[in-house]
Amino acid sequence: MINIFKKIVVKGICPIFINYRYVSYKMKSKHYNPRFRFLRAKKFVYTDLVDTDLMYKRSKLTPEEIRSQMKKEGVLPYRPYIEKPITISCTSGVLEPFIPPEGDGVSSNIKGKAIEQAKGVMLKGRSMLDVQKIKKIDPEFSIKLFPSLAHDIYIRAHHAMMAVDEKVLHELVTEKAYVDMTHGLEHCTVDWKFCKSIEPPKIVHARVFSLKPTKSGPPDFGQITVRLYTRQRLAIYDRFGRLKYGACPTHVQNSEIPPRDVLEYVVFENHLADTYGKWRLHAKTVPDWLQGGSNQIIKTFATESLNEPDPTTEPDLVDHKEELIRKN
């Protein structure tokens, strides 16, 4: 309550004081209608503050104590999240791979065997039908011009691999072939050289397929296998500059090692459903009768130093040690 006195002066009369009384009321915080008090209380969410030292505290606890604490808080245990990469621009393998005839590329005087080899590398009816399907989607595709295009892609891709040019590699090879070609390149140096083609490249196999469950409509991917019979030179050096595979003229005194004749069946793939899809190197077909050959890289490992015995007194131990190292 506040008292205010106001002075009023009238002409010819003594001043008169009038008392004005103002009453002020305090605003109440409660709502006038208590029916929705429960709903109004739900507007406020009470949470615990984040414990910034939680990771530091848990670092000093045992796994059992961490498990009991998380169980008390109602927190599920952490699970490692492993992201699985997926790509739709290429496939993960070769559909219906071409099986090369055994002994292909080896000269023989048997006439019947040569005829069978010639039949094995010719386009069959199924491949011709799939080539016609590719032409419907890509009118510029030509059986006569594609082998030379594949040969050029093959050489450019190997030069890019030797120079570790990732940008060019992604344009010339698929994602599957990129992983296979670049595996272990950070620990070695590749010296590859193309000498010449012994036989002109030719198409021996063609397949198209769709990833749709209904299998209706145009195909999504096309794969063409090209036979390449070339002469190459390859040398692979480890990170210390030592030759571990192949041959190089610099490692032979006063002589030049001739290059090797290489027969390969290279698979090229195109994402036909993509408007901007193009043919890229995808994989190589290796027959069962050629797997596990002698042209594999011999891996070397560092072993612990052993006390070498005197070869004059204990020759048997020396031979046994060399045999163990050779097996490892």
Which of 236, 221, 225 is CA-nearest to residue 181?
236
Residue 172 sits in which domain range?
Answer: 111-290
Give the separation between CA 89 and CA 219, rounded to whole angstroms: 13
Instruction: Flag whether 76 is in a domain.
Output: no
63 lies in some domain: no
- For the chain, percent of residues with pLDDT exceeding 90: 26
pLDDT digits (tens, 9 = 90+) for 172-215: 999 999 999 998 888 888 888 999 999 999 999 999 988 776 66
Phi, psi of 214 (to 5 degrees): -80, -15
Residue 29 counted as domain residue: no
* 285 falls within a domain: yes
Tokens 């069978």 sit at which residue? 116
Specify the CATH number for the domain of residue 129: 3.10.450.240
Tally of structural domains, the chain:
1
Q: Does 269 fall in a domain?
A: yes
Q: What is the pLDDT of residues 55-74, one digit of tens each?
A: 788 888 888 988 898 888 88
**136 sits in which H/E element:** helix 125-137
Angle at CA of residue 233, ends 229 and 239, nearest 5°: 135
In the prediction, which pLDDT does 105 show?
64
Residue 48 lies in a domain: no
Please state the pTM of the whole predicted model: 0.62
